[in-house]
């Protein structure tokens, strides 16, 4: 077995540090937690760029738009334990927009689910770090995503299961905005509202770009917050790069209804020449572009 094939195992030291720090950030106010969450997110963005640089493949634009949502969910909101990723009482995090696997993997590694050095195996032959997340191979992944419109119904089933059991763990699912053109999402939205799943939060990474064009030029989603509200969801619209706002929006439902967070984001966020440009959906940066991007992200 080559090093690339080696199964992913917890990084004990990183996991221990994560458990301490994430407990503190969860308990902190959004404003208190925001600076540290921002610092972690910058590290994730850097790891996304070098991960994609090594693989020479990936979806960098969406990775950079979703990063702050991933970091705030995993570091500042959910109860996760990288040492025991199958704990029945864990909170569930589902990345429905599975093509942003690089950002997910970088965030999972930052928590210690597996060693950060393994990010260089992203999409290598026989690597567990597939181009789209595989729960059997990657600790911390709840369901295999990639085809769009899948993660949300599965997350709805998770939340329904917790409710049936009378257990208090939560489920957060992150969706792409273009993904909402898949009808299966709206089936799940109806199911979650019908069952009053206040333990479920759906976050839309609203970067307004899909693979080939703007969402509003392809098949318009607006008025998106009104759509969620009309489906019976408690709806929160935020700046998806403001960590305090994200943490506040990820607070549990106050109404007993499921919560939809429309997080307005910028595709390619943090790298000036990628921001809000459709071609960076899955364009691979050159080594020089990665160097320039890392300089920008060094602040």
Partner 1 sequence: MTAVAEQAPTFDCRADFADELAALARADERVVAVCNDSVGSSNLVKFREEFPDRLINVGIAEQDMVGVAAGLANAGFIPFASAAAPFLTGRALEQIKADVAYSERHVVLCGQSPGMAYGELGPTHHSIEDISWMRAVPGLRIVVPADPRQTRDAVRWAAECGRPSYIRIPRFKVPEVTPADAPFREGRAVRLRDGGDVTLIAIGTMVSRVLQAAELLAADGVAARVVNMTFVEPLDVAEVVAAAEETGTIVTAEEGLVSGGLGAAVAKVVAEHRPVPVRMLGVPAFAPTGSTAFLLDHFGLNATGIAAAAREALGRA
Comparison of 58 and 153: residue with beta carbon closer to partner 1 = 153
Name the segment binding partner 1 (CB under 8 A); options: 35-43, 132-140, 233-241, 265-273.
132-140
Among 92, 118, 241, 247, binds partner 1 (CB under 8 A): 92
Q: Smallest distance from the beta carbon of 108 to partner 1, in angstroms? A: 17
CA dihedral 235, 239, 243, 249 (to 10 degrees): -10
- What is the helix, strand, coil percentage profile of the chain, to 5? 50, 10, 40
| Residue 71 structure tokens | 């970091």
Cα distances (Å, whole numbers) of residue 238 to 8, 41, 89, 207? 35, 17, 29, 12
**Residue 124 found at the interface with partner 1 (CB under 8 A):** no
DSSP 3-state of 202 = strand
Comparison of 76 and 178: residue with beta carbon closer to partner 1 = 178
**Residue 136 found at the interface with partner 1 (CB under 8 A):** yes
Cα distances (Å, whole numbers) of residue 45 to 40, 102, 253, 270? 9, 10, 29, 8
Total site size for partner 1, rule CB under 8 A: 33
| Residue 95 structure tokens | 């990345």
Closest by CA to 148, choosing from 70, 205, 82, is 205
DSSP 3-state of 254 = coil
| Residue 112 structure tokens | 């210690």
| Residue 14 structure tokens | 């990183």
Among 143, 201, 207, 210, binds partner 1 (CB under 8 A): 143
Comparison of 171 and 210: residue with beta carbon closer to partner 1 = 171
Tally the C-alpha atoms within 13 A of residue 169's C-alpha that lie toward its C-beta. 20
Among 6, 50, 120, 134, binds partner 1 (CB under 8 A): 134
Among 88, 125, 254, 272, binds partner 1 (CB under 8 A): 88
What phi, psi does 7 have (nearest 5°)?
A: -60, 150
Q: Smallest distance from the beta carbon of 44 to partner 1, in angstroms? A: 25
Name the segment binding partner 1 (CB under 8 A); options: 146-154, 226-234, 249-257, 263-271.
146-154
Pick out residues in 151-210 that bind partner 1 (CB under 8 A): 152-162, 164-165, 183-184, 187-188, 190-191, 194
| Residue 37 structure tokens | 């969450």
**Residue 289 found at the interface with partner 1 (CB under 8 A):** no
Residues that bind partner 1 (CB under 8 A): 88, 92, 134-136, 142-147, 149-150, 152-162, 164-165, 183-184, 187-188, 190-191, 194
């Amino acid at each position: 077995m080559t090093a690339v094939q080696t199964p992913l195992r917890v990084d004990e030291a990183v996991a221990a540090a994560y458990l301490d720090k994430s407990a503190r950030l969860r308990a902190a106010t959004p404003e208190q937690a925001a600076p540290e969450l921002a610092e972690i997110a910058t590290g994730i963005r850097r790891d996304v760029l070098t991960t994609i640089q090594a693989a020479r493949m990936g979806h960098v634009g969406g990775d950079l738009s979703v990063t702050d949502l991933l970091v705030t969910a995993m570091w500042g909101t959910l109860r996760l334990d990288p040492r025991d990723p199958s704990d029945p009482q864990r909170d569930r995090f589902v990345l429905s927009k599975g093509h942003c696997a690089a950002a997910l993997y970088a965030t999972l590694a930052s928590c210690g689910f597996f060693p950060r050095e393994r990010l260089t195996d992203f999409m290598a032959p026989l690597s567990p770090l597939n181009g789209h997340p595989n729960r059997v191979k990657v600790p911390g992944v709840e369901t295999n995503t990639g085809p769009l419109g899948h993660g949300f119904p599965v997350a709805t089933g998770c939340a329904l299961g917790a409710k049936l059991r009378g257990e208090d763990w939560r489920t957060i699912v992150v969706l792409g905005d273009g993904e909402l053109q898949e009808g299966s999402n709206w089936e799940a939205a109806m199911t979650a509202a019908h069952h009053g799943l206040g333990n479920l939060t759906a976050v839309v990474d609203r970067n307004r770009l899909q693979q080939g064009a703007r969402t509003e030029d392809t098949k318009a989603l607006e008025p998106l917050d009104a759509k969620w509200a009309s489906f019976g969801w408690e709806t929160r619209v935020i700046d998806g790069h403001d960590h305090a706002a994200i943490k506040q929006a990820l607070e549990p439902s106050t109404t007993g209804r499921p919560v939809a967070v429309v997080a307005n984001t910028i595709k390619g966020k943090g790298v000036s020449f990628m921001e809000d440009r459709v071609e960076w959906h899955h364009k691979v940066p050159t080594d020089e572009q990665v160097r320039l991007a890392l300089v920008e992200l060094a602040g």
